Amino acid sequence: MLARPLNKDSQSSISPQAAIDELRLGNQRFLACATLERDWAKDISATTGEQYPFAIVLGCIDSRVPIETIFDQGIGDIFTVRVAGNIVNEDVLGSLEFACELAGAKAIVVLGHTSCGAVKGAIDAVRVGHLTTLLNKIEPIVDKVSASMNRDSPEFVDAVAEENVSHTVDVIRTSSEILARMESSGDISIVGAMYDVTSGEVRFS
């Protein structure tokens, strides 16, 4: 099957749930080594003057989590925002608002992953330049999880990463009136997900 970038009509016809379903199916194709065939030259040409992505994924910078690849998406299919620990600040919120309100994306996915280095840094209270400010945003999540789980547990890092995803989803909803309104009216979905670096599987919340 030859995949093609969306146009304005096909983007507008996708529901928020269908957008999530396509990402889920894309990950299944990735896991099965059955990714769609793409004509990259034609895709570049088709998206030169316009773009109609169906979703935006906020993920970590981790090199083991190439977002378009693990969801089997091509040029023009999805927006991606990448920042260590998949945290939110005003710039990220602005990017999410642009993708959904102005460019028509139907879903926001906050994608965390197992064995997250940013989470480990927050657990270890790393202090290195501007990274310190970033990790300060994750440290309250570490404290929250440690109230119910031993920090020495092998599952602690991933539990913090998962809770951090949920926290980021909540911050998006409470910090952006635009995105909260769009979700409330059914124009978009905002969901969390976790990528397993040992298997390549994405599990949606």
Residues 93-133 have pLDDT tens digits of 999 999 999 999 999 999 999 999 999 999 999 999 999 99
Q: Tell me, what's the pLDDT at 87?
A: 97
Contact of 190 with 173, CB cutoff 8 Å: yes
Distance CA 192, CA 8 (A): 26
Best CA proximity match to 20, nearest among 204, 165, 176: 204
Question: Which two three-digit tokens encode residue 117?
Answer: 């280095």
Locate the DSSP E strands across the chain. 2-3, 37-38, 55-59, 78-82, 107-113, 189-195, 202-204
Tell me what the mean pLDDT of segment 189-204 comes to.
98
Percent of the residues in the chain that have a pLDDT greater than 70, as a whole number: 99
**pLDDT tens profile 2-42:** 688 999 999 999 999 999 999 999 999 999 999 999 999 99
Q: Tell me, what's the pLDDT at 32?
A: 98
Q: Tell me, what's the pLDDT at 78?
A: 98
Q: Tell me, what's the pLDDT at 3?
A: 84
Domains and CATH numbers, the chain: 2-204 (3.40.1050.10)
| Residue 191 confidence (pLDDT) above 90 | yes
**pLDDT tens profile 131-151:** 999 999 999 999 999 999 999
Q: Tell me, what's the pLDDT at 4?
A: 85
Distance CA 128, CA 74 (A): 36
Contact of 96 with 58, CB cutoff 8 Å: yes
Q: Residues 6 or more apart from 46 whose CB is under 8 A from it?
A: 4, 5, 76
Percent of the residues in the chain that have a pLDDT greater than 90, as a whole number: 97
> Which residue pairs from 148-151 have beta carbons closer than 8 angstroms and sit at least 24 positions apart in sequence?
151/123
Q: Tell me, what's the pLDDT at 2?
A: 61
CA distances from 144 to 58, 158, 163 (A): 22, 13, 9
State which amino acid sits at residue 41.
Answer: A
| Residue 1 confidence (pLDDT) above 80 | no
Distance CA 155, CA 177 (A): 35
Distance CA 150, CA 131 (A): 25
- Measured torsion, CA atoms of residues 59, 63, 64, 70, in degrees rounded to the nearest 10: 60
The mean of the pLDDT values for the chain is: 96
Question: Which two three-digit tokens encode residue 192?
Answer: 């969390």
Identify which has the larger pLDDT, 205 or 166: 166
- Whats the size of the chain, residue-wise? 205
Tell me what the mean pLDDT of segment 64-86 comes to.
98
